[in-house]
């Protein structure tokens, strides 16, 4: 769901509020047109370097025929699709500019959504030299070109203060089956406490001397509330409980 927070023109400043599966609202600034153009420029540089590598060095060194050269150049055609699918909505250029493709409803970005964005890229950017994309983004005001509107995605500015890792969010595989369905009984506050304990325990610089006792006490409280038990270690149990909580809420959407 979108929640527009700015009274300035969309192309100057706009923020969007994404609701996670746990109903935790995260506010992100929309990626500016300048950010997206610079990301495109960086990606073009990387693609150019790859072209030089293939065209000047590999093709000559390997003595490839035409079909072989075409095969080596083919990844360039799928460049943005491949990176957005396998690198969580970021191409190298987007990563440099700290922008990323998100699902507009805050749920996990899927390969199907990335494919829709990529197909529309031909009209948005390739055939119109980016003019159509720029126009739609300015008019739309939600960081969306035609491909984003069709795919239900948006491109937002990310940073250290705006990451899912600082919330209850955890990516869960679509076919994942919760080991503890009772995790649904937990509240957002419970899971936030668990996550803070887990993060402190894993960080040697922040870990207190009594971290073993801290883990044990946290586990006992969660076991009592969810009426669960396991032979897993305290850390593994608590980490699984966070993941199961996410999975239960995703399944109920």
Residue 7 pLDDT: 35
Buried b (16+ CB within 10 A) or exposed e, 167-205: bbbbebeeeeebbbebbeebeeebbbbbbebbeebeeee
Alpha-carbon torsion, ordered 139, 141, 142, 147, to 10 deg: 20
**Tens-place pLDDT, residues 202-240:** 888 778 888 888 899 899 999 999 999 999 999 999 999
Residue 27 pLDDT: 66
Mean pLDDT across 13-36: 67
Residue 205 pLDDT: 79
Helices (H), 129-187: 131-140, 146-151
Only one residue has tokens 């003019």, namely 131
Kindly report which listed range (89-93, 100-104, 234-238) carries the lowest average pLDDT score.
100-104
C-alpha 65/C-alpha 83 separation (Å) is 28
Reported pTM: 0.58
**Closest by Cα among 173, 119, 126, 127 to 149:** 119
**Closest by Cα among 91, 70, 67, 69 to 79:** 91
The residue extents of the domains of the chain are 15-165, 170-251
């Amino acid at each position: 769901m979108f929640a527009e927070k700015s009274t300035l023109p969309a192309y100057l400043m706009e923020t969007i509020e994404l609701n996670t599966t746990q109903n935790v609202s995260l506010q992100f600034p929309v990626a500016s047109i300048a950010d997206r153009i610079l990301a495109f420029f960086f990606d073009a540089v990387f693609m150019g370097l790859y072209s030089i590598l293939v065209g000047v060095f590999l093709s000559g060194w390997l003595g490839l025929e035409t079909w072989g050269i075409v095969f080596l150049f083919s990844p360039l055609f799928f460049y943005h699709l491949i990176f957005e699918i396998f690198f969580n909505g970021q191409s190298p250029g987007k990563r440099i500019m700290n922008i990323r493709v998100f699902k507009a409803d805050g749920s996990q970005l899927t390969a199907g959504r990335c494919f829709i964005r990529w197909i529309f890229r031909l009209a948005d950017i390739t055939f119109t030299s980016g003019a159509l994309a720029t126009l739609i983004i300015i008019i739309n005001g939600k960081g969306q070109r035609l491909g984003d509107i069709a795919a239900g995605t948006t491109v937002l500015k990310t940073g250290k203060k705006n990451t899912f890792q600082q919330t209850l969010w955890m990516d869960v595989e679509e076919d994942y089956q919760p080991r503890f369905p009772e995790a649904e009984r937990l509240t957002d506050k419970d899971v936030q406490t668990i996550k803070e304990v887990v993060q402190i325990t894993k960080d040697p610089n922040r870990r207190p001397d009594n971290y073993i006792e801290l883990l044990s006490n946290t586990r006992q409280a969660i076991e009592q509330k969810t009426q669960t038990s396991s032979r897993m270690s305290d850390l593994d149990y608590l980490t699984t409980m966070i993941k199961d909580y996410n999975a239960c809420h995703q399944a109920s959407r």
